[in-house]
Chains A and B, each alone.
Chain A
Amino acid sequence: MEWAWLIPVLSFIAAPLIVILGPKLPGKGSFLAILAIAAGFVIFWAVLSGFLGASPDSSHCETSADTGSLVCDYQQEWFHAGLASLDQSVTLTWGTLIDPLTLAMLGLVTFVALMVQVYSLGYMKGDPRLGWYYAVHAMFAGSMLTLVLADNFLLLYMAWELVGICSYLLIGFWHERPAAKEAAKKAFIVTRIGDVGLLVGILLLWSEVGSFSMSEAFNAATTGAMSEGVTTTAALLLLLGAMGKSAQFPFHVWLPDAMEGPTPVSALIHAATMVVAGVYLVARAFPIFQAYDGDALLVVAVVGLVTALMSASIALVSVDLKRILAYSTISHLGLMMLSLGAFGYTAAIFHLLAHGFAKALLFLGAGSVMHSTEAQDIRQMGGLIKVMPITAIVFSVGALSLGGIPLLAGFWSKDEILNAVSQNRNPVFIATAFVVAFMSAFYMARAMFVVFFGQLRQGLDHAHESPWLMTAPMMMLAVLAAGFGLINFNWPGAFPGFGGLIYFHEAEDFHFNLWIGVLSTVLALGAFWLASLCYLRERISPDILRQKAPWLAVVVENKYYFDEVYQWAVDRLVLTVSGFVALFDRAVVNDVGVNGPADTVRRVGFVLRLHVTGHLYSYALAMVLGTVGLAVLWWLRSV
């Protein structure tokens, strides 16, 4: 376990190597990144087995009083800010913290990153900047793994920013396209706004606790050493960062645009790993959120609910395959937040993993479709199962899983969330959550039916199945997207179940609430049936809603006008202020403040120079008169 730091470091080493040596290596050095992450995946299993064999008595390990689970922490001094002997100084550390939550995230990130990087070999084949692509991928993997391993908030923040910049670089990978360039900028700046909150929150915790260590901050929050006001403020500030990264309302606008990046990037960064960092942060800082009766968690729940509902509705009407998936991602991230907000810690993490596998699979499937058809609009697709059967089947597995069809992974995880919400929040939440679940199943069904089933569209005859480099990773992900739900069950004596591994204070046994299970099954099946009527058998025209409530359709299709409002705010407010300040700097500071005195001096000089006549006599006379004057003055004073 003490070697866990190697997992990110290997990828960090790979990144500059690819940049420097890449051009001379076969495949532009892409294999270095894959080797690094594959090694990381192997080390993950070693760490996992080490952790399962560890007990609170092992060195560096203890049972955390804040979360109730086993935690192992390895620290290495990094640098001192302020002379160590001074009271106010602080020593910063590299530290890896290993607990069940970290392990779950490590497994997800290493596995999905490995799959996506292998897939990219096929998808990005022949790209002139392949080396750069893999270098940033390696950089991203290293940063993301650091993020989940960090044992202090500073390290977490650093990794948080690094994944942001990698996301920026990969969204803008095809920066010659203006849309990609703008989307990259937007993604970075919108999340950066949230990061201001995160950094202020971290500094606030530091000023209260005197250390960046997470466990000390948690301790202060749970033992009451930190006052209620500060704790809640800190929690809300951290939430701000989480909302930016996890594209929660009202910061969600960047994620759909981020689809301008290469599709494997969307699968890895904007579906499975980076965007869940916000959820991870809330889960990681759960002791702070949950302290003092969890007032902050209510905000988390509301944010999650609003996000889930709003983006699910947009996904219903979107016609761009990747954007449907993007809005679906936002919606599911909202569900995870809702779950955390309803004290459903285990359920949120379970859904995070299940969604991560399924959504990565869906994106890779969409990439496979786009790779072969070069289209992105679902209206130009149809019946692709006939030409690319493997893609169609694995995509359907992902769609059914996320749609919540029973026995697939998504069903179990969604069920857990609904369970938590029904227990801990008021009926409005659970009712809305069911609506979201229905919509989620419906848009998934829509995408699946329109793209893969029905008549093969004209002009798609040339479409072909993708190479095995792309299908193999998809198939592996499909296995997990379908069967991951199995680890939810506990086998007494042999395996404690997911809830027995990842929990907050109390281990949870697997439980199944009958009426929720039945209702969600009915809703999911109903949604798929309805979608098949609309899009497959075309019994019902999907336009019926548009005719009944045109204004609603317009509002939803325009994504509730968020982009327009933000654009207006940026153009009208920010740039105006900036222009004003720049003008102020030139007109007031420079022209009045600098040129003003200079002009005054010049004018005074203009007047004063008139006494310079150029005649020697006048000067000499002035001298004489001056001397005489002084003499008289002196004489007058001495009398």
Chain B
Amino acid sequence: MVPLAYFQLVSAGLFAIGLYGVLARRSAVLIVMSIELMLNAVNINLIAASSHLEGLANFAQFDGQIIAIFVITVAAAEVGLGLAIILRIHRNRSTVNVDEIDLMKW
């Protein structure tokens, strides 16, 4: 059986890549993709932990899996919504560069 730490390492790596993408990229589409990476990193972590902790007291069997499914659902909705917003912004301003999208500041 693969040790838990391996999964966590992969997950941490994915998360770091995602985080880098969110902070460093200018394109809104790439930022959304990076967020997806981060969410999936969390999913891997959750499922690994769930299967690792199976049989231990105080934990229901499928908690991790259930939350992961929730996350996937939320992520799907978020992508739908996020891409729709980005599309609207692109239509309006012909750019998806987040530096130029600052109307909401004071």
Contacts and interface: CB of A to CB of B under 8 A. Distances in A.
Direct contact of A and B (CB under 8 A): yes
Contacts of A621: 23
A614 B99 CA distance: 8
Contacts of B101: 616
Interface in B69-106: 98-99, 101-106
Interface string A118-148: 0000000000000000000000000000000
B19 A612 contact: no
B31 interface: yes
Interface residues on A, range: 10 to 19
B23 A612 contact: no
Contacts of B99: 615-616
Interface residues of B, number: 12
A623 B22 CA distance: 11
A615 B103 CA distance: 10
B105 A620 contact: no
Contact of A613 (B22, B23, B103, B105): B105
A334 B98 CA distance: 95
Interface string B39-70: 00000000000000000000000000000000
Contact of A614 (B19, B22, B102): B102
A620 B22 contact: yes
A617 interface: yes
A614 B104 contact: yes
A427 B101 CA distance: 103
Contacts of B102: 613-615
Contacts of A617: 23, 98
A545 interface: no
Contacts of B98: 615-617
B55 to A, nearest CB: 25
A547 to B, nearest CB: 87
Contacts of A615: 98-99, 102
Interface of B: 19, 22-23, 31, 98-99, 101-106
22 contacts: A610-B106, A612-B104, A612-B106, A613-B102, A613-B105, A614-B102, A614-B103, A614-B104, A614-B105, A615-B98, A615-B99, A615-B102, A616-B31, A616-B98, A616-B99, A616-B101, A617-B98, A620-B22, A620-B23, A621-B23, A624-B19, A624-B23
Interface of A: 609-610, 612-617, 620-621, 624
Given A612-B106, A617-B23, A624-B19, 15 more contacts: A610-B106, A612-B105, A613-B102, A614-B102, A614-B103, A614-B105, A615-B98, A615-B99, A616-B99, A616-B101, A617-B98, A620-B22, A620-B23, A621-B23, A624-B23
